[in-house]
Every structure is written in structure tokens, then in C-alpha cells.
């Protein structure tokens, strides 16, 4: 999409005046040169994090932030050399940022091991809940009637002492009943 019909000076003047079309034409004209510099300078390990297009955008963002600096360029070749230097600088800064500074240092990155990934929810599946309910019902049929009342009160939020006081039982009997029911559900 390079617009070679317009001379360099005309594109620069129109870009400085705020023409987005002229800016796009300039960008298209120098795209391959900037990409080439970025691809040569960008280390392989950083290619997983950045695309050449990211740096291309950084170069043009810094260039278009202050379009008055374009007045210094009278020749197309000098402008291309300048953009190549800016691209090389952007890559160098990112290398320094990713390998020397502490905050974004890639050397400090450690990949997660498979055993560290918790991909399955810790909550039981519906089928497990249903199975536990069935098991608990069977267990309640085998044990004394107060086991059901102990379980209902515990689910309601009462402590073992409160349950024992309400049912007229020993605190240890309540704990045994709860332990027996829990063991039945776990197995």
C-alpha cells in the first residue's frame, strides 16, 4: 500500500499538517525496513512475547507523537535510516527491560508444572454428592434414630455441646455419631 506517486517531501509536509492518509503512506513505505531491523535484532526468546508488528507500532507511535520532528528530514534515505535506528533502540530497550530489570525479567519466570495446575474444581461433582447422600441415608437406617437428629442439628449450625444438651446425650456420644456418619460418607 506504499504510495510511491507522492514524493517524500510532500508526504512529510502533509503528515506534519495532520493528514492521516499521508501518515499511512509513510508507514507503508518504510514498513519492510522497520520490520527487517526488528527481526534481525529481536532475540528468539522474546519472539514468544512480541511480534514485529508490536515494535513497528511503537516506532510509529513515537514518531507521530511529535510530527514536528519530521521537518528535520529532507531525504527519504535519511528518514529510513532514522526509523531503523529508532526500531533498533526500541528492541534494545525491551531486551534490557526483559533481561536486566527486575520487574519484567524473563529470567525470573518459571513455568508452572503440571502438578501445580489445578484444572479440576475442588468441589464434588453432582454424582458424588448424590452418591454420598445415598450412602448417608443407608447409614442412618442402620444406626439409632438420634443419629438423624444429630446430623440435622449439626447441619443447622449447632455445636456438639449444644446438640448434646438438646438431645440429653453425652458430648462424646454426639462426636462419635458425627464421626461414624462422616466415615460412612468418605468410604
Q: What is the pLDDT along the chain (187 residues), one digit of tens a residue?
A: 444 556 888 888 888 888 888 888 888 898 999 999 988 988 888 888 888 888 888 888 888 887 777 777 788 888 888 889 989 999 898 888 877 776 666 666 667 676 656 655 677 778 887 888 888 888 888 888 888 898 888 888 889 899 999 999 999 999 998 888 888 777 6
Domain locations in the chain as residue ranges: 8-108, 126-186
pLDDT attached to residue 2: 43
Class of 126-186 in CATH: mainly alpha
pLDDT attached to residue 161: 92
Q: What is the pTM of this model?
A: 0.52
8-108 under CATH 1.10.1740.10, yes or no: yes
- For residues 187 and 182, give the distance between their C-alpha atoms in angstroms, rounded to a whole number: 9
Is 126-186 in the same CATH topology as 8-108?
no
In angstroms, how far is the first alpha carbon of the chain from the final one? 70
- For residues 104 and 111, give the distance between their C-alpha atoms in angstroms, rounded to a whole number: 15
What φ, ψ does residue 40 adopt, rounded to 5°?
Answer: -70, -35
**CA of residue 121 relative to chain centroid, distance:** 19
| 3-state SS class at 170 | coil
Closest CA to 42 of 54, 26, 60, 29: 54
* Buried b / exposed e along 159-187 (16+ C-beta atoms within 10 A): ebeebbeeeebeeebbeebbeebeebeee
Amino acid at each position: 500500500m506504499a504510495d510511491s506517486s507522492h514524493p517524500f517531501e510532500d508526504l512529510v509536509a502533509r503528515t506534519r499538517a495532520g493528514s492521516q492518509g499521508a501518515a499511512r503512506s509513510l508507514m507503508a513505505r518504510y514498513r519492510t525496513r522497520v520490520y527487517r531491523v526488528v527481526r534481525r535484532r529481536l532475540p528468539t526468546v522474546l519472539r514468544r512475547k512480541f511480534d514485529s508488528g508490536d515494535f513497528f507500532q511503537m516506532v510509529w507511535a513515537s514518531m507521530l507523537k511529535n510530527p514536528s520532528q519530521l521537518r528535520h528530514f529532507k531525504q527519504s534515505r535519511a528518514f529510513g535510516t532514522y526509523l531503523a535506528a529508532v526500531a533498533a533502540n526500541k528492541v534494545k530497550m525491551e531486551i534490557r527491560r526483559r533481561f536486566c530489570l527486575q520487574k519484567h525479567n524473563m529470567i525470573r519466570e518459571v513455568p508452572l508444572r503440571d502438578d501445580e495446575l489445578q484444572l479440576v474444581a475442588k468441589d464434588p461433582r453432582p454424582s458424588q454428592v448424590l452418591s454420598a447422600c445415598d450412602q448417608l441415608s443407608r447409614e442412618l437406617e442402620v444406626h439409632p434414630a438420634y443419629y438423624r437428629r444429630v446430623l440435622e442439628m449439626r447441619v443447622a449450625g449447632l455445636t456438639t455441646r449444644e446438640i448434646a444438651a438438646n438431645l440429653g446425650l453425652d458430648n462424646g456420644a454426639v462426636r462419635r455419631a458425627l464421626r461414624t456418619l462422616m466415615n460412612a460418607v468418605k468410604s
